[in-house]
A and B are shown apart, each in its own frame.
Chain A
Amino acid sequence: MPLTMAQIGEVNTIKSIGGKTDTKNFLEHLGFHVHGTVQVISSQAGNVIVNIKDSRVAINKDLANKIMI
């Protein structure tokens, strides 16, 4: 399921990342890579703040929907 639907506080493993090549690569460089873990800290109408590799990254709904967990 997409990251937007993750429970707050739950630690999830990333299964795949979709989207345009540029977007995908950018997310990967930020630490979103397949097999990596991601934890949603807070969520607002699909926009999420996640903990990824001990840093906090805010991403909007469009992007969060491309990250499958």
Chain B
Amino acid sequence: MITAALAGNPNSGKTTLFNALTGANQRVGNWPGVTVDKKEGWVKKDRSLRIIDLPGIYSLSPYTLEEVISRDFLLDEKPDVVINLVDASNIERNLYLTTQILDMGIPTVIALNMMDVVRKAGDRIDTKKLSQSLGCPVVEISALKGEGLEDLLREAAAAAGQKKAPFERRFSAPVEQALEKIGALIAGAVPEERRRWYSIKFFEQDAKAAEKTGLAPEALGAIDKIIKEGEKALDDASASIITGESYDYITGITSACIKKSRKGLSASDKIDRVVTNKWLALPIFAAVMIFVYYISVTTIGAIVTDFTNDTLFGSWIMEPLAGWFEEIGTAGWLASLIVDGIIGGVGAVLGFVPQMLVLFLMLSLLEDVGYMARVAFIMDRIFRRFGLSGKTFIPLLISSGCGVPGVMASRTIESERDRRLTVMTTCFVPCGAKTPIVAMIAGAVFGGVWWVAPSAYFVGLGAVIISGLILKKTRPFAGKAAPFVMELPSYHVPAMGNVLRSMGERGWSFIKRAGTIILMASIVVWFFSSFGFVPAEDGGGTSFAMVEEMDESMLAVAGTKVAVIFRPLGFGFWQATVASIMGLVAKEEVVGVFGVLFGVEGDALGLVEDGDFGALSPIAAPFTMLTAYSFLVFNLLCAPCFAAMGAIRREMNSGKWTAFAISYMCVLAYAAALMFYQFGILIAGAGFSLGSVVAIAVLALIIWLLVKPAWTEKKAAAPLAAEAAR
């Protein structure tokens, strides 16, 4: 069996090639960094060839997690051959990684991808000459069209037999002298075929590579001296010397092998001139987003969602099923479990799937075209002020549809600090399922005034901004947002296969969750809301049985007990508490539960959708405007639904962080609603009370958290300052 490692720059088409070779269905995005872990598969036609898809990297120096994974694999697992995918349309930068791979002495085959783009631009690449200069086979391929793959596999299989790829590149005389001296010092400590590579790494002062060799301190001291001499001779840092000379070497090769016809800007650059223009960027972005939302939420999405909710689940599944159960005489509790508990709960979530699929389709399209990467850039200057990165914007945007894919979208953020911050804040944005709550409060309590709905978005965005500002000063998030560096892919016509696959994957993981965690939660909540201790029919004592009305259920009893903690927020009655708890299943459940608990005629959610607020007036009865808005604020910001919590757990990949994120949301929600209500009644003339004191204290605390100096590690501060002064 032959093991081939697939290595290449981010966004060079590696995943596409991997899929073409193995027939796998990995996700492909026109967004650098789609592959985070290494994946493996067998070649479709030749099962003796195993392919490992390494993450996209720019170099083999261990600065990023991806680079570490790739380098360790190449060093420790010793693949028989490396297939180095090179994007011909920016060959110089791609060959930089190639030189580093060749330095390692592993047999390598270069797969020259995107030659069609090069030819279209009128450029010519002499692959024979390139192959001679680099001393390894070069095969022209098109990963997208599946061209040249057989040649590539044949060359890879042939190269796999070789012991050492004949690669000899020479650095300048001072560097070569230094490398020779280092080579002599480390001989014996490293495998002979890796001596040259380790010499270079030692010269670059690559601590991770040095660690691996376990060299004696005396030898390290001697190497240090050699490096100092080299740096002095060439007046630069050793690592920069190597990089600079590598690029000089590459430029030497490419100028001999490549004929460029174009002098001006490429089509992609011309588009960027307009789309990322200082003045036009934001208006164009706003227009694109309005269009996307208009299509996916207002028109097509709404039609399909209404059909799924009302017709498919309502009249085609639930009603006939309920009737059929009655006919065959199923036990009442079982019918209730299946119809109200399972189908009702899961259906409510699945009802959003069509709308989300349309939204995902549009977003996948924008991503595949290459626009999403630009959006991150455009938004970065705004988000940086709040301690967030421009890459946070995409998750926030998607969360306005649904928090689950929103949380998932945070995966493309490389910096762990920025990613965690994004996961923690993204659910504050009102999602599609929270809009019925907003609509109910606005319609039933506020008489349909226009400002309630937009204000909900401001509450959400405000929570994101305040959280960014507060959290970035705390210990786990201290320090600046990672500097924004991102390669922007070329614009290209979207490949429908990629778009549909990306849409399908996002949609499917949502549906899968509806089938597992939401199913479980629905059953549990159904149980607690349908059973309770009721007075026994014979008169004496109570018995545990199914309840007629929800207000006799265990949930109501528990809700009444818990309700007291919401008294300072103004909505300390059990119905509001139960509704909030039920909101954990799916946020639109809040409306449904109110409907049931207040005995609204008909389906409350349906009434909200139809704008029939008159029928909802029983809901408005226990609320004042203040308490209703306080309730709204709490429900907008508190823990998201189970599905989103599951997503947070997955992206945080840590129980502790998940718990922290969810507790943070709940605490912030409580604090915000408390302040709103307490200051509200104070202004309304209720008089100063203990509640007002607490609210003032909370406000003071938040202001202090906002303005306090950021957390810094005293010990770390000194060397960092020295570094900055350099």
The CA of A20 and the CA of B276, in the complex, are separated in Å by: 29
- Decide yes or no whether A68 CB sits under 8 A from chain B: no
Contact of B485 among A25, A27, A41 (CB under 8 A): A27
A29-B61, A53-B93, A60-B380 as given contacts; A41 in contact with B244, CB under 8 Å: no
In the assembled complex, the Cα of A49 lies from the Cα of B268 at a distance in Å of 12
Taken together as a complex, chains A and B put the C-alpha atoms of A35 and B243 apart, in Å, by: 11
Known: A24-B237, A30-B58, A49-B377. A41 touches B272 (CB 8 A): yes
**Which chain B residue has the least Cβ–Cβ distance from A43?**
B278
Whose C-beta in chain A lies nearest to the C-beta of B92?
A: A53
Q: Flag whether A6 is at the interface (Cβ < 8 A).
A: no
* Interface bits B263-304 vs A (CB < 8 Å: 1, else 0): 001001100110011100100000000000000000000000
Within 8 A of A (CB), among B59-99: 59, 61, 63, 89-93, 96
**Binary A-proximity of B341-379 (CB < 8 A = 1, otherwise 0):** 000000000000000000000000000000001101110
Centre residue among B243, B373, B374 by max chain A CB count within 10 A: B243
Interface: B247 (CB within 8 A): yes
With contacts A20-B723, A30-B487, A63-B484 taken as known, whether A55 is within 8 angstroms of B90 at the C-beta atoms is yes
With an 8 A cutoff between CB atoms, is A23 at the interface?
yes
Is B501 interfacial (CB 8 A cutoff)?
Answer: no
Contact pick for A31, options B240, B247, B276, CB 8 Å: B247
Q: Which residues from chain B contact A60 at a C-beta distance below 8 Å?
A: 380-381, 384, 483-485
Cα-based distance from A42 to B423 in the complex (angstroms): 30
**Residue from the list B61, B92, B486 in contact with A57, Cβ < 8 A:** B486
A42 touches B272 (CB 8 A): yes
Main secondary structure of the interface of A (DSSP, over half): mixed
Check B268 against A56 for contact (C-beta < 8 Å): yes
Residue in B96, B380, B489 whose beta carbon sits within 8 Å of that of A29 in the complex: B96
- Cross-chain contact A41 with B273 (CB below 8 angstroms): yes
**A19 CB to closest chain B CB, in angstroms?**
9
Contact of A42 among B91, B277, B384, B724 (CB under 8 A): B277
Inter-subunit contact A31/B96 (CB<8 Å) = yes
Beyond A20-B723, A42-B273, is A54–B484 a contact (Cβ under 8 Å)? no
CA distance A63 to B389 in the complex (A): 14
Contact A28 to B486, CB < 8 A, known contacts A22-B63, A49-B377: no
Q: Provide the B232-276 mask, 1 if CB < 8 A to any CB of A, else 0.
A: 000011011001100110000000000000000100110011001
B339 interfacial by beta-carbon distance below 8 Å? no
Q: Are B63 and A35 in contact (CB under 8 A)?
A: no
Task: Tell me whether B530 is interfacial, beta carbon within 8 Å.
Answer: no
Given A29-B61, A58-B485, A60-B483, are A42 and B240 neighbors across the interface (CB < 8 Å)?
no
- B contact residues around A23 at 8 Å (CB): 483
Task: Compute how far the CA of A17 lies from the CA of B485 in the bound complex, rounded to whole angstroms.
Answer: 15
The answer to the question of B490 belonging to the interface, with a C-beta cut-off of 8 Å to chain A, is yes
Task: Categorize the interface residue count of chain A.
Answer: 35 or more
Report the separation of the CA atoms of residues A63 and B488 in the bound assembly, to the nearest whole angstrom: 16
Q: Tell me whether B96 and A44 are in contact (CB under 8 A).
A: no
Residues B488 and A34 in contact, CB atoms below 8 Å apart: no
Known: A17-B240, A31-B247, A33-B243. A58 touches B488 (CB 8 A): yes
With the chains together, A29 CA to B236 CA distance in Å?
16
Q: Which residues of the other chain, A, contact B89 by a CB distance below 8 angstroms?
A: 54
Q: Which residue of A9, A42, A56 is within 8 Å of B278 (Cβ)?
A: A42
Is the CB–CB distance between B244 and A25 below 8 Å? no
**Chain A min CB distance to B584 (Å):** 38
CA distance A42 to B484 in the complex (A): 15
Q: Which residues of A contact B380 (CB under 8 A)?
A: 47, 58, 60
Interface pair B237/A21, CB less than 8 Å apart: yes
**Taking A24-B237, A45-B381 as contacts, is the C-beta distance between A55 and B485 under 8 angstroms?**
no
Cβ-based interface call for A51 (8 A)? yes
Query: Which residues of B sit under 8 angstroms from A20, Cβ to Cβ?
Result: 723-724
Question: With A29-B59, A29-B96 given, is the CB distance from A56 to B269 under 8 Å?
Answer: yes
Question: In the bound complex, what is the Cα–Cα distance between A34 and B269 (angstroms)?
Answer: 23
Q: Are A28 and B239 in contact (CB under 8 A)?
A: yes
Per the bound structure, the CA–CA distance linking A52 and B488 in Å amounts to: 11
Q: Is the CB of A35 within 8 A of B248?
A: yes
Q: Is A2 an interface residue (CB 8 A)?
A: no
Known contacts A29-B243, A34-B240, A49-B377; is-contact A63 B272 (Cβ 8 Å): no
Q: Which of B96, B281, B483 has the most CB of A within 10 A?
A: B483
Q: Cα distance A30–B486 when bound, in Å?
A: 10
Contact between B239 and A25, CB atoms less than 8 A apart: yes
Min CB gap B538→A, angstroms: 76
User: Are A56 and B485 in contact, CB atoms less than 8 angstroms apart?
Assistant: no
Say how far B203's CB is from chain A's closest CB, in angstroms.
Answer: 13
Q: What separation, in Å, do the CA atoms of A47 and B218 have in the docked complex? A: 46
Residues from chain B with Cβ under 8 Å of A54 in the complex: 89-93
Interface string of B462-486 (1 = CB under 8 A from A): 0000000000000000001001111
Per-position 1/0 for B483-509, Cβ under 8 A of A:
111111110000000000000000000
Residues on B with beta carbons closer than 8 Å to the beta carbon of A41: 265, 269, 272-273, 276
Shortest A63–chain B CB gap in Å is 5
Q: B381 contacts A49, CB within 8 Å?
A: no
Q: How far is the CA of A51 from the CA of B248 in the complex (A)?
A: 18
Who on chain B is nearest to A26 by CB? Answer: B63
CB neighbours (8 Å) of B490 from chain A are 56
Minimal Cβ-Cβ distance residue in B for A66: B483
Interface residue from B90, B247, B373, B381 paired with A33 (Cβ < 8 Å): B247
Residue numbers in B under 8 Å from A43 (CB-CB): 278
Most buried by B among A31, A57, A58, A62: A58
- Nearest-neighbour CB distance to chain B for A45, whole angstroms, equals 5
User: Top 10 A-B pairs ranked by shortest CB distance?
Assistant: A60-B484, A54-B90, A29-B59, A55-B90, A53-B93, A28-B243, A58-B377, A56-B488, A53-B92, A42-B276
Q: A30-B487, A46-B381 are in contact. List 4 more A-B contacts (CB 8 A).
A: A26-B63, A33-B244, A33-B247, A44-B378
**23 pairs, A vs B, C-beta closer than 8 Å:** A26-B485, A29-B58, A29-B96, A31-B247, A34-B240, A36-B247, A41-B265, A41-B276, A42-B273, A42-B277, A44-B276, A44-B381, A47-B380, A47-B484, A49-B377, A55-B487, A56-B489, A56-B490, A57-B485, A58-B484, A58-B488, A59-B486, A60-B380
